[in-house]
Amino acid sequence: MSQDPYTDYSNQPQHPYPYGIPQNQYEVQQGLYANPTSYGYGQQEQSYDYTPPQTAPLPLEQAIKELPSQYVKVLTKPSANTFAQEMGKASWNIVWAQLIGYAILTAILSYISSLIMSNPFSTIGSTALNPVMIQLMHWGLTLGLTPLIILSFFTGTGIRYLIAKAFRGQGTFLAQGYTDLLFSVPLGILSALVSWVPLLGSIVAFGVSIYAIVLHIFSIMVVHRLSGGKATAVVLIPMVVGILLVAIIIGLIVAAGTL
């Protein structure tokens, strides 16, 4: 009895990959690779892994000249790939240059805003203040903003850095701080400028804050080579905890006032 030619597999190659072993089944566009890590029964989570171009820190003068183009690039091309291309330029001199310049500029804008808006120091109680005293108060608040901005930067970056390390992040504090400043500085200046517009300023500031969260997530993904889910947790956990603490404090104040 002749064998059915349609069911005869005797002449078929027995190698599991008859056309050659696949080299990289996770390869995607733009040089991005997802390295799957097994978690239990076949469940996988993709972590960000990208080999950035070979870049090195620039001399301070050149680094300052390139900052405007870097700001535009990060804000107009938001992606993990963009931060990966800029991360290698991190150095402490450009971090401090951005941070001090941003703190001083923000303080100046705050002072101008206090002159434009209604003066909160014109009277205290029923007593009118001397104009010289009013100016001194304005300058005191302005000068106090500079160290406060620097302190808040290191505090916020440090908290996110520790949380990222808890998720087994691989990055450095310097790289994280540098990539954060590439969008925090221009967005912070934009928020300060639009705050002069009563209604539109609040709307724009809210949109800027949401956009900053997205950029923070991309930055954490690249610096610490974390998945999108873990990077999101790194960014949102401090915000949620902060909101809860504020709610608790307000609740305690209200409860104390009713006693």
In a domain, 233, yes or no: yes
Task: Give residue 239's domain range.
Answer: 29-258
- pLDDT of residue 150 exceeding 50: yes
Does this model's pTM top 0.85?
no
In a domain, 56, yes or no: yes
In a domain, 111, yes or no: yes
Q: What is the mean pLDDT of the chain?
A: 77
Q: 46-60, pLDDT tens digit by residue?
A: 566 655 555 788 899
Q: 114-141, pLDDT tens digit by residue?
A: 776 655 544 444 445 555 555 555 555 6
Amino acid 34: pLDDT:
40
In a domain, 12, yes or no: no
**Average pLDDT, stretch 98-125?**
73
Q: How many domains are contained in the chain?
A: 1
Tokens of 167: 């998720």
Sequence letter at residue 154:
F
Q: Count of alpha carbons within 13 Å of 84, Cβ hemisphere only?
A: 18
* Alpha carbon 113 to its chain's center: 26
**Average pLDDT, stretch 102-106?**
89
CA–CA dist 133, 150 (Å, integer): 27
- pLDDT of residue 19 exceeding 50: no
